Structure 1
């Protein structure tokens, strides 16, 4: 498995007191589901996220390891403190699991912020479990829930994690029972657009028995618009399957890129950092690797997308020239044959190239890369406020487009730590981000804007010269027609015929050029470069004149929101150039 591959994460929540006699069937069903997901994700690492408590957590982890999946043990507190919640035999089992080859051990961000003495407080330990649930919710694309179907309204409990994952994300202490039923016909369409797919393994409990669960068959739950109401599905929703497929395709396409086309540029965001500790460097590297992958994918797809646009422009020009030659100069059959050959060849190339989706791949990879770039630098700077990527996605409308709504699935599994630096390194971190993000991007967009503007003005001059030439040619035909007809160049080919040919050719080439400019969205691209250049240059001035580091961090956060929204809107403009809106009805 390629280490740079994006991962598919499954969070685990469930009861500790499962009934031993039911474990074989539970394990068998989990193995079947994991195998099914592996079949759908052959190019993608599937990672199980679990707190490694007794019962459900460890059963799921053991089965995942048997299936060749990786496990991320996210402990709610340091192991020495966590040990107090288990018997000696249970703790030994935990240690054995944590030492397995495909198991990585991390702690929640909340646990990392506390000192060891804090864990003596029971209310704080309860909060640790609640925060564990929060991280599982934040990082999981699918929730595996080994649950008896009852709502305990216990903070950090199984039903709490289930409800927060599928609905508001906020703790609800309402003891209202949870309703589960098959969706009615009118509910199927609406529910398909909701987030939060749950793989529900019904279980019975040994220490807290309630109503007995008779059917232990694994089920698919999706949320409804009504709190505490879930739909029972025979299969995964279509939107979820699409997300799984797109994530796997993203990895598959990257693996097909020749090594010579990877890492052509030194585009790592953190390679020059020498002031982070070893553990922090390892954490940030995973995010940096994801950025490098997205950036390389975007550049590779853009290369082929641009070549495709240029190829069709050249072919259209040649077709026009062949037709004009046939109509105005030599009525030879060869020119019509060449015209037809180019037409058929163009259709063939279009059909074949459209399967690769170079254009859409370029846009989606660029969105991923720029979002990761921003989140990496905010994390490095120690900006504690969370960047509302989901909100920006919703406001911009990116999620509405086919082939774009899976993108959040790339960000969700990535854990973004906010690095709390010592006072002597805090300024160093902000200065690093200012130099390697704000200054670099300001220079990049300013340079790109100037180059594109200069190129545009140059081409406009050429266009005006050609239009002027066409006007002069028209005047020549009006006032000097007889002289032009009598001036023979070769055979029956007169100067008038040449002039008429050129007058037909110039509008053709100008028209093709305008279409090419429109397809490439050159004007919108120039606007984006200018807007981004203004954003970064203004923010740089504000940062340089800020009186405190806190003010600088606030400016960085505002810049992050604005530049991402600009990037998303640019992607929308490009998308609109290539796709018709969905038909009504």
Structure 2
């Protein structure tokens, strides 16, 4: 909710405004119930929660909040200052009394670190926090462009820029209620003043907007992916260990318990989250349902880890057995008496490759790995965004059409919505400690992870390269020896020709398999992307630690950190989705 103060509302317009706001809120509640019933398979059986987020300024904010409570909405109050200071900014006794009454009924109260010397900036801060935790913005607004900082017009423009649809309730009862949303013109990026963004307010238009906001993408395939995710089971053992064995064989990393026990990886992730939550609790600033977010994240992360190892191991398995099949066929030249057994072994190897490929494709190892990893990494930074109160993840879809096209984008936004508003009092002193805590426990570990990943994959690629070149070098030496033999002792060459054939064909076959593993893994590209992401995150940490405590600035920086991590992830997915498990 955002709206003009009481002094901007004519006395004879208040009753009409109350009626219009009631109609809007009744329509929202009814439509939300209809949308939920039509898509009940994707939501829990818990009762529907309707949240009304408001700064509770005297005037339109308080009028709408009182109506929302009557209709069964849950009130979440976001205040620009601590509550006593906020009361001082309300000129009329009636407004102060109404504020106290509404605040006593609020289930969540968030007090931001506004300052009396920067009143307008403080109201902008409250408006930004309101938009960050809202799916819809109701604006009681005269329709004019912003005439300064902190006004309703600026909050409406902020909502447009963050792709939040706005229900515009004009002050004058003679003007119609409208819906404004950038997604109404999905072909181009529009401005807040563009008339292409405006639709007349009706039950049909509202239904379309809420469906686009809260329901999964309409495609049957995306909805099937959601059902698959909802039916996933926790694994105790990781059966596919070929990839970690490759890392161990090349000396890149040791084979550890977490490579074959799923609970070990889960415990590691759980400990990292516990460390973050404990650090934030020590700040004693705001509280948010991070435990629920942790459960969502750990589930997606554990599934992503499982299918990543299965997929990577499936590729290693195919390349290794492909080389083995060639060696078995060539070995018949030097062991003719074992030809029958070698043929059977070769047949088994080929069938194993085909079955591994068929099974991995049928089980969608590749797609599930990419989807679940993207989901987990969209959820992770939400903890810091939520703790900063006014920060928020970017909307799904594109800048021109901010509607989820993938189920993971829809699910991530649904998690953000389910977390609702944080609560508590965020002072300037606590803000500085909180930003340092986020830098230390959220962003710095990501820098360390990207640097460690870059070193590991570079080392793996380098050692595979050396091994592959060595195999080709040995094959070259064998060819040279064969040519010398033809000159020096042709009879000896003829007698050992089968061995020469085995070496000259078998070694390049193994070398080609090694080369295939390198190409599929794109280890050099991964290292470059990780290093670039680490550099961006380092710059953000430097600014968080060096700059004075400023909530909007801290929110901007942490949002940018989330974007940097997502950009790396999106580029990673774009590359890896071309590398499905196959024998081609």
Whether TM-score is above 0.5 comes out as yes
Contact kept? 1:298, 1:361, Cα under 8 Å: no
Over 3 Å counting, the alpha-carbon distance change for 1:258 and 1:15 in structure 2 is farther
Quick one: distance in 2 between partners of 1:400 and 1:359? 20
2:459 to 454, 462, 472: 454
Contact kept? 1:41, 1:248, Cα under 8 Å: no
Quick one: distance in 1 between partners of 2:63 and 2:142? 18
1:578 equivalent in alignment to 2:577: yes
1:226 equivalent in alignment to 2:196: yes
After TM superposition, give the deviation of residue 469 of structure 1 in Å.
0.8
Quick one: distance in 2 between partners of 1:24 and 1:428? 42
In the TM superposition, 1:176-191 aligns within 5 A as none
1:513 equivalent in alignment to 2:514: yes
1:549 equivalent in alignment to 2:548: yes
What is residue 242 of structure 1 aligned with on the other side?
216
After TM superposition, give the deviation of residue 551 of structure 1 in Å.
9.7
What is residue 479 of structure 1 aligned with on the other side?
484
2:325 to 322, 325, 335: 322
What is residue 528 of structure 1 aligned with on the other side?
529
Quick one: distance in 2 between partners of 1:76 and 1:334? 76
* SS of equivalent to 1:513: helix
What is residue 474 of structure 2 aligned with on the other side?
469
Over 3 Å counting, the alpha-carbon distance change for 1:355 and 1:242 in structure 2 is farther
In the TM superposition, 1:83-122 aligns within 5 A as 105-107=107-109, 109=111, 113=114
Structure with the larger helix share: 2
Contact kept? 2:111, 2:426, Cα under 8 Å: no
1:140 to 130, 134, 138: 134
Quick one: distance in 2 between partners of 1:578 and 1:140? 33
Quick one: distance in 2 between partners of 1:312 and 1:535? 32
Number of aligned residue pairs: give it: 489
Over 3 Å counting, the alpha-carbon distance change for 1:346 and 1:137 in structure 2 is same
After TM superposition, give the deviation of residue 326 of structure 1 in Å.
3.5
- Give the TM-score normalised by structure 1: 0.60
Over 3 Å counting, the alpha-carbon distance change for 1:369 and 1:351 in structure 2 is same
After TM superposition, give the deviation of residue 373 of structure 1 in Å.
5.7
* Larger displacement relative to structure 2 (347-356 or 78-87): 78-87
Quick one: distance in 1 between partners of 2:158 and 2:561? 33
1:257 equivalent in alignment to 2:251: no
Contact kept? 2:435, 2:554, Cα under 8 Å: no
Quick one: distance in 2 between partners of 1:334 and 1:59? 78
Contact kept? 2:385, 2:555, Cα under 8 Å: no
After superposition, the C-alpha distances for 1:174-227 in whole angstroms (9 at most, x for unaligned) are 97955989xxxxxx99659999xxxxxxxxxxxxxxxxxxxxxxxxxxx99713
Over 3 Å counting, the alpha-carbon distance change for 1:109 and 1:512 in structure 2 is farther
Over 3 Å counting, the alpha-carbon distance change for 1:453 and 1:519 in structure 2 is closer
In the TM superposition, 1:12-23 aligns within 5 A as 16-17=18-19
* SS of equivalent to 2:283: coil
Quick one: distance in 1 between partners of 2:380 and 2:464? 30
* SS of equivalent to 1:469: helix
What is residue 36 of structure 1 aligned with on the other side?
38
Contact kept? 2:283, 2:434, Cα under 8 Å: no
After TM superposition, give the deviation of residue 496 of structure 1 in Å.
3.0
Contact kept? 1:108, 1:131, Cα under 8 Å: no
What is residue 361 of structure 2 aligned with on the other side?
351
* Larger displacement relative to structure 2 (403-412 or 265-274): 403-412
After TM superposition, give the deviation of residue 519 of structure 1 in Å.
3.1
In the TM superposition, 1:62-211 aligns within 5 A as 71=74, 73-74=76-77, 105-107=107-109, 109=111, 113=114, 137-141=131-135, 143=136
Backbone CA RMSD of aligned residues? 6.1
Contact kept? 2:308, 2:369, Cα under 8 Å: yes
- Give the TM-score normalised by structure 2: 0.61
Contact kept? 1:17, 1:55, Cα under 8 Å: no
* SS of equivalent to 1:272: helix
Quick one: distance in 2 between partners of 1:567 and 1:24? 38
After TM superposition, give the deviation of residue 549 of structure 1 in Å.
3.4
1:272 equivalent in alignment to 2:272: no
Quick one: distance in 2 between partners of 1:516 and 1:295? 29
The structure with higher relative contact order (CA 8 Å, sep 6+) is 2
After superposition, the C-alpha distances for 1:222-254 in whole angstroms (9 at most, x for unaligned) are x99713225946867678643597799499559
1:312 equivalent in alignment to 2:312: no
Contact kept? 1:396, 1:569, Cα under 8 Å: no
Quick one: distance in 1 between partners of 2:79 and 2:433? 31
What is residue 249 of structure 2 aligned with on the other side?
none
In structure 1, the gaps of 5 or more residues are 1-10, 66-70, 99-103, 116-122, 182-187, 196-222, 381-385, 488-494, 581-585
* SS of equivalent to 1:306: helix
After TM superposition, give the deviation of residue 305 of structure 1 in Å.
1.7
* SS of equivalent to 1:549: coil
2:371 to 361, 368, 381: 361
Quick one: distance in 1 between partners of 2:64 and 2:321? 67
